[in-house]
Amino acid sequence: MKKMEIADYKGKVKPSWCPGCGNHSVLMALKKAMAELNYQTHETAIVSGIGCSSRFPFFMATYGFHSIHGRALPVAIGLKQAKPEINVIAVGGDGDGLSIGGNHFIHAGRKNPNITYIMMDNEIYALTKGQCSPTSRIGTITKCNPYAWTADRINPVLMALSFNASYVARGYAGDVKQLEKLIFGGLQHKGFAFIHIVSPCVQYNKVSSFEKIKEIVRNLPDNHDLTDRVNAMKYAFSSDGLYTGVFYKVQRPTYEERYKDVISKAKQAVDSNFSIKDVIKQFQ
Amino acid sequence: MKDLKIKISGISGQGIISSGDILSYATARKGYYVTTYRAFPSEIRGDGKCYYTLRISEHKALTATGTTDILVCLDEDTIYEGINNITKNGVLIYDSDIVPILKEKRDDIVIYGLPLTKIAKELDSERSRNMVALGMVVGLLKNLHLEEQILKDIELRYKNKAQEVINSNKKALNSGFEYCLNKLERKDNLEKAEMKTTGAKLIMSGNEAIGLAALVSGCRFFAGYPITPATEIMEWLAKELPKFDGKMVQCEDEIAAINYALGASYSGVKSMTATSGPGFSLMQEAIGLASMAEIPIVIADVQRCGPSTGIPTKTEQSDLFAAMYGTHGDCPKIVLAPMDVADCFYQTINAFNFAEQYQVPVIILSDASLGPRRECVDLIDIDNLKIVNRQKALLKEGDIYRRYEDTKSGISPITNPGDLYGEHVVTGLEHTEENAPTPSAQVHRKMIEKRFRKLETAAGQFSKAKTYGIEGASIGIISWGSTSGAVFEAIDMAKEKGIDVQALYPRTLYPLPSDWIKGFVKDKDVIIVVEANYNAQFKSTIVERCTHINKGTEVLEFLKYDGTPFTPEEILEEIEKVAKLQQEKNDISTNKHIHF
């Protein structure tokens, strides 16, 4: 097997993100984590939906599936279930994953597929030139809401915890070192790993800039019990800052493992040389 | 006797469907041909009506609709609904315990009011009233010798239930059978009815045929969301796929289902989903993705009355526009429509072959009259079926791989995750041959042409449109999907009345079978397009798109949109009407000629 270097993951297309966009750090952190785990490009698929961050697969040398708005998770889970030996990483933004694709996020948590889902949250729809997203803050003014924004924010980490994602972490694009660690942990984790990354938009979101996020970011305490879901929720709820780090990490059977049980049960009922001709017998 | 139609009717919950199923299995396994039609309400219990019609025959029959020879009613209302549809000398069986006085009668049929409830009560199982009635039917047709086989089929159907259930059903059937043989004063002429058996065959539903064909084609991934009347495909594959290391996953909605299937197909596994109208609407965007990103996928749409929730259990052929044009953008895809259960099998085999070979979404249009319909299928020779597998690019280090290479056939070399040196990104964005996104006008034009070129390449591979009836007849009928069975039978009936008609049945609806239609209409004065929708969806498409039709040939439509399938009798009536009009027209033109 080839020993992978960061440069080996460089895609054919040059990143189209604005200079200074938080997503550049995420791209770098993912490449580093993958190199460390020696992920082979032909054995890895990056799956995304639509949005600025969803252009991600084009910037990688791996297999990639740039799908439709909101559907990164179903494509990724289908791919993984059909071919579990492939490393599957879903990526996308807050609008893609929490608004149009919100339903799939719920069900990914409870199914626990062995994939990593990296959400780059810039609190805005940037590809469509700045409209409010499910994570936009009260006070955000855009062309679509020139007077006031009228909905509360979604808390992605709290959602993932309540959907029973088995690995939940949050990072901040201003800290690539931490990102790399969180992503590395997510890739290594067997089960649905959700990594929420606050990745400020330098173009359309002045409310949540790098400077402002930096002020509120703090690390989860070292003694935080990773198996304590209720306590993890308390940190996710916390209004005394934006906690980053690993909130929750437990092992439970993955979607693919559970389906292996289905297959072994189905096979128990039939002979080892069972063929399609035997299936047809039920119609005779 | 060559042919016999039995209808069992009542209220949902009375066991109409199970008794119909048991009888159809028994007749098929005994070696007769059987085809069925069932209609039931969306509610599990309640006062919705349930009907199960079986047509038992010596030769393969194409419909089970129309008149009835034996009508069995477990409730009162269905008696009056059905009594006038019984053929002369036919039989009506009803439960005299719940209907003491019959409000409507007929002199030209035989009416048996039988104590079904009393017999069932004596056995301490009032719920087995349906089996008592079924036993009576088996008794009436004693020369068909179904009694042993039907007991076996009761056992098979309830094999996962308690022995008591099996026993009480068998006992009830026997009581009905004995009553008919020993106590019933026969007035009907079925006693001597005999029918030739025609050897081993298969019996399955349209939905099961689609599932079986998927399995035979090598499909090993199915993602779906429950929806009437398509769920049976999902249930059948859930049971069978894991025996072959395949997977059936139930998703959170139909959007997820088709995207799961696309992810799975991208990984290299033949994949499909199945749904009905509402789910089909939800899948449209992803069908466009499959078309744009060139990912093979098969989608079965078991149509039901729409729009919106419509009538979930009733049939319609009203999703043709959605199948052909439902997706935004110029979207190459293939739409197939099977005519009967056997065709559900063979068209699904074609669907997978086309999807894999041409890297397009393939849609199968079944419907609520065909999906749940159980009928005989001649034995299938699975060793001699043509199965197309994905033609993968073989690459070595240093090769330049272009996923969307613009080839002569339009088909580009494909690889899947796991294949060395084949890394690429599939995308719904317009892209270059090297799969880089681009808004270039030139590239968009070129790539649209490339994607559509695959359909031109495919056109030579499609099964020929089938014709039926009298070659050179001046009246033609064009129909598609399950309606074609009733059309063919109507043509046979018309022939007996001295009217020549020829039918055309295209199996591939999109790309539009223009050449076949052109060839067919050449010698026709008038064409009737028969389809089960209000908008004349196929007719308007061929009139609009096959401009050669507009010259000379008159194109009429005969439509039905009441949730029930066409009967041959209805179509015959239309044929007679059109034939008469044609005759009048000819007379006028002949007279004119004389005057000149």
Average pLDDT over residues B351-373: 97
Distance CA A21, CA A117 (A): 19
Site from A42, A106, A254 to mutate, B interface, most B CB atoms within 10 angstroms: A42
Contact B392, B411 (CB under 8 A): no
Contact A123, A205 (CB under 8 A): yes
- CATH code at B466-592: 3.40.50.920
Beta carbons of B242 and A263 less than 8 Å apart: yes
Could you tell me if B279 lies within 8 Å of chain A, comparing CB atoms? no
Closest CB to A66: pick one of B204, B418, B428: B428
Distance CA A226, CA B106 (A): 79
Query: What distances in angstroms separate CA B514 from CA B326, B373, B505, B545, one per listed residue?
Result: 20, 31, 12, 8
Work out the pLDDT band at B596, boundaries 50, 70, 90.
Answer: very low
Distance CA B295, CA B362 (A): 10
Distance CA B87, CA B496 (A): 19
pLDDT for the residue numbered B46: 64
Examine the pLDDT at B594 and tell me if it is beyond 70. Answer: no
**B positions 161-220 inside 8 Å of A (CB):** 200, 202-204, 208, 212, 215-216, 220
Distance CA B151, CA B166 (A): 9
Which residue type sits at B506?
P
Beta carbons of A65 and B266 less than 8 Å apart: yes
3-state secondary structure of A233: helix
Closest CB to A266: pick one of B243, B416, B434: B243
Contact B206, B341 (CB under 8 A): yes
* A196: β partners: A119, A170
Distance CA A173, CA B230 (A): 46
Beta carbons of A82 and B419 less than 8 Å apart: no
Q: Which of A263, A279, A254 is nearest to A114 (CA)?
A: A254
Contact A178, A186 (CB under 8 A): no
Where are chain A's structural domains?
Answer: 6-252
Average pLDDT over residues B146-165: 95
Classify residue B182 by its DSSP letter.
I
**Matching fold, domains B203-384 and B466-592:** yes
Q: Which of A8, A64, A6, A4 is nearest to A30 (CA)?
A: A6
Contact A108, A192 (CB under 8 A): yes
Q: What is the pLDDT of residues B71-127, one digit of tens each?
A: 999 999 999 999 999 999 999 999 999 999 999 999 999 999 999 999 999 998 888
Closest Cα of chain A to B49: distance in Å? Answer: 28
Could you tell me if B471 lies within 8 Å of chain A, comparing CB atoms? no
Q: What is the pLDDT of residues B262-295, one digit of tens each?
A: 999 999 999 999 999 999 999 999 999 999 999 9
Look at the block and give the residue holding tokens 């029918």: B195
Distance CA B36, CA B17 (A): 11
* B510: β partners: B335
Could you tell me if A62 lies within 8 Å of chain B, comparing CB atoms? yes
pLDDT for the residue numbered A145: 95
Residue B451 corresponds to which tokens in the numbers above?
């994607």
Where are chain B's structural domains?
Answer: 3-200, 203-384, 391-463, 466-592
With 0-12 / 13-18 / 19 or more C-beta atoms within 10 angstroms meaning exposed / middle / buried, residue A231 is middle
**Domain A6-252 grouped into CATH 3.50.50.60:** no
Q: Which of A79, A114, A108, A255 is nearest to B264 (CA)?
A: A79
3-state secondary structure of A127: coil
Could you tell me if B247 lies within 8 Å of chain A, comparing CB atoms? yes
Beta carbons of B243 and A279 less than 8 Å apart: yes
Contact B15, B165 (CB under 8 A): no
pLDDT for the residue numbered B463: 74
Could you tell me if A75 lies within 8 Å of chain B, comparing CB atoms? yes
Beta carbons of B252 and A106 less than 8 Å apart: yes
Closest Cα of chain B to A200: distance in Å? Answer: 25
Work out the pLDDT band at B39, boundaries 50, 70, 90.
Answer: confident
The answer to which of A57-66, B427-436, B514-523 has the lowest mean pLDDT is B514-523
| Closest CA in chain B for residue A46 | B425
Average pLDDT over residues B290-313: 97
Tens digit of pLDDT at every position of chain A (284 positions): 999 999 999 999 999 999 999 999 999 999 999 999 999 999 999 999 999 999 999 999 999 999 999 999 999 999 999 999 999 999 999 999 999 999 999 999 999 999 999 999 999 999 999 999 999 998 899 999 999 999 999 999 999 999 999 999 999 999 999 999 999 999 999 999 999 999 999 999 988 999 999 999 999 999 999 999 999 999 999 888 999 999 999 999 999 999 999 999 999 999 999 999 999 999 99
Distance CA B432, CA B402 (A): 9
Could you tell me if B433 lies within 8 Å of chain A, comparing CB atoms? no
Q: What is the pLDDT of residues B536-553, one digit of tens each?
A: 999 999 988 876 676 678
Indicate yes or no: pTM above 0.90.
Answer: yes
Site from A83, A87, A261 to mutate, B interface, most B CB atoms within 10 angstroms: A83
Closest CB to A67: pick one of B257, B382, B428: B428
Work out the pLDDT band at B2, boundaries 50, 70, 90.
Answer: confident
Contacts by residues B153-160 (CB-CB < 8 Å, ≥ 24 positions apart): B153/B22, B153/B25, B153/B26, B153/B29, B154/B22, B156/B25, B157/B18, B157/B21, B157/B22, B157/B25
In A87-241, where do the E strands start and end? 87-93, 116-121, 167-172, 193-198, 217-219
Beta carbons of A74 and B255 less than 8 Å apart: yes
The strand pair at B271-275 and B297-303 is best described as: parallel
Q: What is the pLDDT of residues B40-53, one digit of tens each?
A: 776 666 678 999 99
Q: Which of A261, A236, A256 is nearest to A246 (CA)?
A: A236
CB pairs under 8 A between A and B: 170
Q: Quick one: three-class SS letters along A37-70? A: CCCCHHHEEEEECCCCHHHHHHHECCEEEECCCC
Chain A residues in contact with B249 (beta carbon < 8 A)? 78, 81, 259
Classify residue B311 by its DSSP letter.
B
The helix-helix angle for B537-545 and B514-521 (nearest 10°) equals 90
pLDDT for the residue numbered B48: 86
Closest Cα of chain A to B385: distance in Å? Answer: 13
Provide Rg for chain B, Cα atoms.
26
Could you tell me if A90 lies within 8 Å of chain B, comparing CB atoms? no
Look at the block and give the residue holding tokens 């098929």: B28
Closest Cα of chain A to B537: distance in Å? Answer: 29
Beta carbons of A78 and B260 less than 8 Å apart: yes
Residue B354, φ and ψ in degrees, nearest 5: -65, -45
> Percentage of chain B surpassing pLDDT 90?
89
pLDDT for the residue numbered B546: 79
Distance CA B12, CA B7 (A): 15
Residue B483, φ and ψ in degrees, nearest 5: -65, -25
Please tell me whether the interface predicted TM-score (ipTM) of this complex is above 0.95.
Answer: yes
CA atoms within 13 A on the CB side of B461: 20
With 0-12 / 13-18 / 19 or more C-beta atoms within 10 angstroms meaning exposed / middle / buried, residue A268 is exposed
Q: Would you give the distance in Å from CA B93 to the centre of its chain?
A: 30
pLDDT for the residue numbered A270: 95
CATH value of B3-200 in 3.40.920.10, 3.30.43.10, 3.40.50.720, 1.50.10.10:
3.40.920.10
Beta carbons of A79 and B243 less than 8 Å apart: no
**A positions 176-205 inside 8 Å of B (CB):** none
* CATH architecture for the domain at B203-384: 3-Layer(aba) Sandwich (3.40)
Which residue type sits at A226?
L
Residue A274 corresponds to which tokens in the numbers above?
């069972």
Q: In what side-by-side order are the strands of the sheet with B271-275? A: B247-250, B221-224, B271-275, B297-303, B361-367, B334-336, B508-510
Site from B266, B283, B374, B415 to mutate, A interface, most A CB atoms within 10 angstroms: B266
- With a CB cutoff of 8 Å and minimum separation 6, the contacts of B286 are A68, A71, B255, B258, B259, B262
Chain A residues in contact with B223 (beta carbon < 8 A)? 78
Contact A116, A89 (CB under 8 A): yes
